Structure 1
Amino acid sequence: MLPVNEAETIIFNLVPPLDSPSNTEIVDLLSARGRILAAPVTSKLDFPHWDNSAMDGYAVRYEDVKNSSRENPVVLEVIGEIPAGYQPKLSLQPGQAARIFTGAVMPEGADTVIMQEVTQRQENRVLIQAAPKAQEFVRKRGSYYQAGDKLLPDGMMINAPEMAILAAAQCNQVSVFRKLKVAIFSTGDELVTPNQPLQPGQIVDSNNYALAALVEQLGAEVLMLGIVPDQPEALRKTIATGIENADIILSSGGVSVGDYDYVEEILAALGGEIHIRAIAMKPGKPLTVARFSLSNYRHPIYFGLPGNPAAALVTFWRFVQPTIRKLSGLTDGWQPVWIRAKVPQELRSDGRRESYIWGKLNLVDGVYEFVLAAGNQVSGNLINLAHTNAFAVLPVGQKMVLAGEEVMVLQV
């Protein structure tokens, strides 16, 4: 069995991000949310587009008002009003001011804005009752971004803030990486779908549904291949279909040592190079990882996950989720997220393998706290997986974490 960290290194090194032109596409802005930029974005616009006011107040010349105070206010002539959305036609001369509103273009001759709270209006005059700083409350053209510079880098996901930036920059189309395709199937003669009557000895296949939901949450397309019986030819055809049509193939079950476990033999026959057969983790020991080289650009990766529901989810979150994120083109943020948290109750392990204990991570008074899920922590118990958002991890050799101590937690 491979140590977990060694297996992680092997898996992540197998995954080059999408980088060829054949893996990119142009999408409209409204279709870009959740996609990953395949090329840096630039704009022809400066931000701000022009010198504008950051306050409601008066546009003035700094030299006119630099010595003003409540005791000795400076009196200026108000020669006009500048609302937002208009190009001012007036030009300030010494001793003059213009009423201006937030976002409005600064008039020629003005270099500073006085906030209205420190002024007093008297018909066509305004009393300035406080000395400003030079260029105060003026947003200078290009001070946020200058046209032609990199606006957004490639390899980042487009979320709400990036959507706003792209819209403001009038980037109506963007180059993004294509969506990954992930094929999913479960193996086992004992499995039935949720709509089938359950006979003695049968098990409802929950893994297909859980894995599909997780894959879709990551923005990839799911190819559901269903339940495959423990028959070599059926398994071969299903795996071959996945290799031909998907970037990642996920199976659950059929990867332990048993009379009907044909997966590794089939992978090798289809040209797969098997890199991992078992990992020293609990749950999740029976994990098979193989890679296929179909062309210079196509290298499908196969993950044979354990059949037990908790083990399937642990191995997905630990290895498959970051793999999908990296392969999707993310430059940063694809790695597993680790947090140190306190535990209010005792945690136990047999110490023989790296143990993953599921529960819920909360932020309490500024301190992360991991609360153990109620019920039995066994890989076949999917009932207490509800609300799981983290796993406390006890390394090999550690059998206990006392209440009040800290533990490393994998956030999912």
Structure 2
Amino acid sequence: MKPRSASVSAIPVDDYRDSIEQLLRPLAARPAEVVALAQALSRQLAEDVHSPIDLPVFRNSAMDGYAVRAESVPVAPVTLPLSAVVAAGATSARPLPHGAAMKVMTGAPLPLGADCVVPVEHTHADDTTVTFERRCRAGEFVREPGTDVRAGDLLVPAGTTVAPRHVAALAAVGRSSVSVFGAIRAAVITSGDELVPAGSVLRPGQIYDSNGLALAAALTANGVDVVAVAHSTDDPVRFRTALAAATAAADVVFTSGGVSMGDFEVVRNVLEPLGGHFGSVAMQPGGPQGLTVVDGVPVLSFPGNPVSTMVSFEVFARPILRHLAGLPDVDSYELPLLTGLPRSPEGKRQFLRGKMIFAQEGDQPAVHRRANAVELASGPGSHLIASMARADVLIDVPSEVTALPAGAHVRVWSL
């Protein structure tokens, strides 16, 4: 995107998103590091992990019950002497005598000589004997070694984004650490003399800085490691100081505010002389945008209105960041509008905040409900951040559409 005056036509949304993706795609080549398994969640494996052991490790009982030889219980009922009790974690157990039974707990080693387990609910026992109310077949309720995975088998392939189920499998085979690709590191800088941190007392003309926390939360939720969140006034010297610290610590920097055509656009004023490209994207909200590379670090500059900042992140940064982190793509689908859209600015792609309407069929629990429509959650204003909190989707209105009737299908993106 090249610098442009207010009279120059705006760049299409898809073209600008392509520019950002091309700039961030090299971040896929991140160095690997070894981390403790507990820290591997949501990171991408940099190695194929093969199981070092069989699972199960040893022959064990799948139930609380009684280990016997199948030949000893060919019919039911039958009563056998009770030889011993084997607990889970037992390191040794004497062999099962012929014509006897041993009580075993779930996961306990199967005594040598036993070939099946009868669940406790199908038995009656006292201190010395057990009566079986059903016959036993060889192999029933017995976990054989290696039936889950064999030593040397591929357990989790490289490139997998580690989820809790992967942590469980890796821990079960004894892995305490794994090699993962380093997370993308991001820094956030908000700008503006009017911004003060939450918890401060507002003075006339001041507002709370929501963009710093919001961008940091959005980045974290999409697999990025946020290394710094800073605020700069409209003083260029302070912004340059914050920028230098951010580019030294991060792989990508996000700024909010100071990108328009006003008199105090500190981000634009500092970055344009460094080769930054600032101008307008054909969208609402979020039209003013900036893109710069500083000391080899991409700097994405979003407008400062809170909704503009969040919509810019959703449209331009979230898809590529999730791809680089190995996370699933953002959900996108079509729904009918509950009420009409009376007007949309021609030539601008509009991203409205929407709320899905769910149809609940019969007595289905809420988790099984499906959305059958979408309604507007707020007006188009870029300052309506409280209204955006009620939204769960962005409604994508194409640039050539100026109005939509109720029932018209629109593309929505999950927030």
Q: TM-score, length-normalised on structure 2?
A: 0.78
Looking at structure 2, the residues matched to 326 and 178 of structure 1 have their Cα atoms a distance apart, in angstroms, of: 14
Cα offset for 1:341?
A: 4.6
Structure 1 residue aligned with 2:393: 390
Looking at structure 1, the residues matched to 131 and 402 of structure 2 have their Cα atoms a distance apart, in angstroms, of: 75
Gaps of 5+ in 1: none
Task: Indicate how the Cα distance of structure 1 residues 104 and 227 shifts in structure 2: closer, same or farther if over 3 A, else same.
Answer: same
Structure 1 residue aligned with 2:34: 26
Instruction: State whether structure 2 residue 26 is matched by structure 1 residue 16.
Output: yes
Looking at structure 2, the residues matched to 152 and 185 of structure 1 have their Cα atoms a distance apart, in angstroms, of: 38
Structure 2 residue aligned with 1:336: 330
Task: Indicate how the Cα distance of structure 1 residues 128 and 184 shifts in structure 2: closer, same or farther if over 3 A, else same.
Answer: same
Query: What amino acid is the match of 2:286?
Result: G
Three-state SS of the structure 1 residue aligned to 2:313 is helix
Deviations 1:378-405 (A, max 9, x none): 1122231224332222333445555566
Asked if structure 1 preserves the Cα contact closer than 8 Å seen for 2:258 and 2:268, the reply is no
Asked if structure 1 preserves the Cα contact closer than 8 Å seen for 2:41 and 2:164, the reply is yes
1:44-63 correspondence to structure 2 within 5 Å = 44-63=52-71
Deviations 1:274-330 (A, max 9, x none): 5x85433321222233445x5xxxx52211112221111011122223444444xx2
Gaps of 5+ in 2: 1-9, 361-368
Asked if structure 1 preserves the Cα contact closer than 8 Å seen for 2:353 and 2:376, the reply is yes
Three-state SS of the structure 2 residue aligned to 1:410 is strand
Three-state SS of the structure 2 residue aligned to 1:287 is strand
Asked if structure 2 preserves the Cα contact closer than 8 Å seen for 1:240 and 1:270, the reply is no
Asked if structure 1 preserves the Cα contact closer than 8 Å seen for 2:232 and 2:238, the reply is no
1:114-129 correspondence to structure 2 within 5 Å = 114-121=118-125, 124-129=128-133
Asked if structure 2 preserves the Cα contact closer than 8 Å seen for 1:83 and 1:104, the reply is yes
Instruction: State whether structure 2 residue 225 is matched by structure 1 residue 220.
Output: yes
Looking at structure 1, the residues matched to 248 and 77 of structure 2 have their Cα atoms a distance apart, in angstroms, of: 79
Query: What amino acid is the match of 1:11?
Result: I
1:147-186 correspondence to structure 2 within 5 Å = 147-186=151-190
1:33-182 correspondence to structure 2 within 5 Å = 33-65=41-73, 68=75, 72-92=76-96, 95-121=99-125, 124-131=128-135, 134-182=138-186
Looking at structure 1, the residues matched to 402 and 99 of structure 2 have their Cα atoms a distance apart, in angstroms, of: 80
Q: How high is the sequence identity, in percent, across the aligned residues?
A: 32
Deviations 1:19-39 (A, max 9, x none): 44xx34333344444544443
Deviations 1:123-148 (A, max 9, x none): 65544433456522222222222233
Structure 2 residue aligned with 1:355: 350
1:282-361 correspondence to structure 2 within 5 Å = 282-291=284-293, 299-327=296-324, 330-333=325-328, 335-341=329-335, 343-347=337-341, 349-350=343-344, 352=346, 353-361=348-356
Deviations 1:218-237 (A, max 9, x none): 45224233124175x66555
Looking at structure 2, the residues matched to 186 and 8 of structure 1 have their Cα atoms a distance apart, in angstroms, of: 21
Task: Indicate how the Cα distance of structure 1 residues 278 and 133 shifts in structure 2: closer, same or farther if over 3 A, else same.
Answer: farther
Structure 2 residue aligned with 1:409: 412
Query: What amino acid is the match of 1:61?
Result: R
Cα offset for 1:113?
A: 1.9
Asked if structure 2 preserves the Cα contact closer than 8 Å seen for 1:337 and 1:411, the reply is yes
1:163-312 correspondence to structure 2 within 5 Å = 163-188=167-192, 191=195, 195=200, 197-200=202-205, 204-217=208-221, 218-229=223-234, 231=236, 235-236=239-240, 238-258=242-262, 261=265, 263=267, 266-267=270-271, 269-270=273-274, 277-291=279-293, 299-312=296-309
Cα offset for 1:238?
A: 4.4
Task: Indicate how the Cα distance of structure 1 residues 11 and 137 shifts in structure 2: closer, same or farther if over 3 A, else same.
Answer: farther
Task: Indicate how the Cα distance of structure 1 residues 80 and 241 shifts in structure 2: closer, same or farther if over 3 A, else same.
Answer: closer
* Alignment coverage as a number of residue pairs: 394
Cα offset for 1:252?
A: 1.6
Query: What amino acid is the match of 2:291?
Result: V
Three-state SS of the structure 2 residue aligned to 1:244 is helix
Task: Indicate how the Cα distance of structure 1 residues 197 and 367 shifts in structure 2: closer, same or farther if over 3 A, else same.
Answer: closer
Looking at structure 2, the residues matched to 399 and 135 of structure 1 have their Cα atoms a distance apart, in angstroms, of: 70
Deviating more after overlay: 46-55 vs 206-215: 206-215
Query: What amino acid is the match of 1:337?
Result: D
Query: What amino acid is the match of 2:230?
Result: L
Three-state SS of the structure 2 residue aligned to 1:317 is helix
Deviating more after overlay: 361-370 vs 249-258: 361-370
Asked if structure 2 preserves the Cα contact closer than 8 Å seen for 1:185 and 1:226, the reply is yes
Task: Indicate how the Cα distance of structure 1 residues 78 and 255 shifts in structure 2: closer, same or farther if over 3 A, else same.
Answer: same
Asked if structure 2 preserves the Cα contact closer than 8 Å seen for 1:230 and 1:261, the reply is no
Task: Indicate how the Cα distance of structure 1 residues 209 and 146 shifts in structure 2: closer, same or farther if over 3 A, else same.
Answer: same
